[in-house]
């Protein structure tokens, strides 16, 4: 970790700004968020700011601007290319999650644009879905800007505080001790993430099974399961036995 940060700190500040800005911009604009979540770059930028490689205030402004601009491009792509966006290769494996995201957008409206900013998958697809649904651009822009500023400021500060904490830990327990602590934290995060994904898959599988059972049972006109046919068969069997 120290070697990586030192290597990035040796690069000119303009290069660090450019890398962070492009990753944040491209997250929704070109769906780069499926490869690398933009918050990773933002947190790393905050760490660099803590170690005096770049200016924190400039970083926050850059991240907020790149987030708003990238989401605007994603919105325009969805608005002009419609459903073809959802058939793009990066999205083909996520049809179930896309269906849930569209339902979330229908239920919450523009608020979903703000809330989606805080989840990696929704952050990459919500602007395009808002464009596909023809959400008024002014309404989209208001919530997009609010989310971009709040999200960018939050994760820049998280990285900044993490950078200061890492320096303090390194001074007390040494480089290898701080690296070991970091590895343990990352391992716990991976285990938690995998457990959450496994639970989501199990829940989705249970919902699909329930839907299949519901579709297999005929319904009467008032929406209740129709059991008349089964009752008639039982009555017929009783008459034959008699």
> Can you give the pLDDT of all 242 residues of the chain as single tens digits?
455 556 666 778 898 899 899 989 998 887 777 777 788 888 888 888 988 879 999 999 999 999 999 999 999 998 888 777 777 776 777 778 888 888 888 888 889 999 989 988 888 889 989 998 889 999 999 999 999 999 999 999 998 988 877 655 445 544 444 455 455 555 655 666 666 667 666 666 655 555 554 555 454 444 444 444 444 444 444 444 44
Q: Look at residue 142 and tell me if it is in a domain.
A: yes
- Residue 152: predicted pLDDT: 94
Report the predicted TM-score, pTM, of the whole model to 2 decimal places.
Answer: 0.65
223 lies in some domain: no
Specify if 59 maps to a domain: yes
Tell me what pLDDT residue 144 has.
Answer: 94
User: In angstroms, rounded to a whole number, what is the distance separating the alpha carbons of residues 158 and 82?
Assistant: 36
pLDDT for res 189: 59
Q: By residue range, what is the domain housing residue 87?
A: 2-176
In a domain, 149, yes or no: yes
Instruction: Assign 163 to helix, strand or coil.
Output: helix
Please report whether residue 22 resides in a domain: yes
Tokens (6 digits) for 224: 């209740």
Give me the pLDDT at residue 168, please.
Answer: 58
| Tally of CB atoms within 10 A around 113 | 28
Give the total number of structural domains in the chain.
1
Question: How far apart are alpha carbons 29 and 42 in whole angstroms?
Answer: 17
What pLDDT is attached to residue 178?
46
According to DSSP, the residues that pair with 225 across neighbouring strands are 219
**pLDDT for res 84:** 79
């Amino acid at each position: 970790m120290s070697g990586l940060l030192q290597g990035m700190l040796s690069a000119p500040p303009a290069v660090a700004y450019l890398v962070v800005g492009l990753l944040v911009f491209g997250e929704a604009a070109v769906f780069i968020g499926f490869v690398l979540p933009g918050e990773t770059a933002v947190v790393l930028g905050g760490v660099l700011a803590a170690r005096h490689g770049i200016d924190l205030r400039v970083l926050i402004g850059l991240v907020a601007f790149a987030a708003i601009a990238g989401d605007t491009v994603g919105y325009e792509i969805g608005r002009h290319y419609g459903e073809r966006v959802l058939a793009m290769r990066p999205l083909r494996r996520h049809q179930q999650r896309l269906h849930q995201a569209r339902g979330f957008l229908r239920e919450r409206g523009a608020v979903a644009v703000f809330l989606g900013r805080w989840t990696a998958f929704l952050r990459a697809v919500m602007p395009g879905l808002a464009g596909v649904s023809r959400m008024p651009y002014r309404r989209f822009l208001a919530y997009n800007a609010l989310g971009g500023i709040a999200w960018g400021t939050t994760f820049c500060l998280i990285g900044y505080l993490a950078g200061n904490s890492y320096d303090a830990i390194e001074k007390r327990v040494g480089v290898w001790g701080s690296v070991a602590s970091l590895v343990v934290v990352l391992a716990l995060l991976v285990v938690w993430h995998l457990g959450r994904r496994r639970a989501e898959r199990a829940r989705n599988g249970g919902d699909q099974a329930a839907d299949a059972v519901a579709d297999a049972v005929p319904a009467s006109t008032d929406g209740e399961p129709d059991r008349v046919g089964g009752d008639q068969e039982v009555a017929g069997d009783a008459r034959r036995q008699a």
